[in-house]
């Protein structure tokens, strides 16, 4: 079994070889989300942005079928009927996400304060 760092390198090498062999054709990158995760730890601002849930029904209510207009209309009616539920769900999840971020900040601050510094001559 390999450790996580080795596994990451193995996966990157395999992906690079697959790209060189013509794999992943037509598959684009994940944009800013992929870049923030792959570059290391996401910034606190980015985590705060992700914590707030704000859905626009126009972005996720559509149909990919060739005659999808009736399906899309039905979906829009369902979203409208369930609007109160969705708004409450988004609000609760956003509150939870922000509370988790606040707790994470508090824990990181506490860990930084309790972290022993380099040894001194008095030690």
- pLDDT score of 64: 76
Given a cut of 60, whether residue 36 has pLDDT beyond it is no
Residue-wise pLDDT for 59-89, tens only, equals 778 777 778 888 888 888 998 999 999 899 9
- Give the CA angle between residues 31, 32, 33 to the nearest 5°: 95
Given a cut of 80, whether residue 42 has pLDDT beyond it is no
Question: In the block, which residue shows the tokens 């559509």?
Answer: 62
> Could you write out the DSSP letters of every residue in 91-116?
HHHHHHHHHHHHHHHHHHHHHHHHS-
Given a cut of 90, whether residue 94 has pLDDT beyond it is yes
Q: Hey, how many other C-beta atoms are within 10 angstroms of the C-beta on 94?
A: 14
Task: Give me 3's structure tokens.
Answer: 């450790």
DSSP 43: P
Q: How many helices (H) and strands (E) does the chain have?
A: 6, 0
Binned at pLDDT 50, 70 and 90, residue 30 comes out as: low
């Amino acid at each position: 079994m390999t450790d996580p760092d080795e596994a990451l390198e193995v996966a990157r090498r395999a992906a690079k070889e697959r790209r060189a062999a013509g794999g992943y054709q037509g598959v684009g990158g994940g944009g800013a989300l992929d870049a923030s995760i792959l570059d290391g730890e996401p910034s606190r601002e980015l985590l705060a942005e992700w914590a707030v849930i704000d859905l626009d029904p126009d972005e996720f209510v559509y149909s990919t079928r060739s005659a999808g207009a009736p399906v899309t209309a039905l979906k829009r009616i369902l979203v409208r009927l369930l609007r109160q539920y969705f708004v409450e769900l988004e609000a609760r999840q956003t509150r939870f996400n922000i509370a988790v971020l606040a707790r994470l900040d508090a824990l990181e601050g506490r860990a930084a304060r309790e972290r022993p510094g380099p040894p001194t001559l008095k030690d």
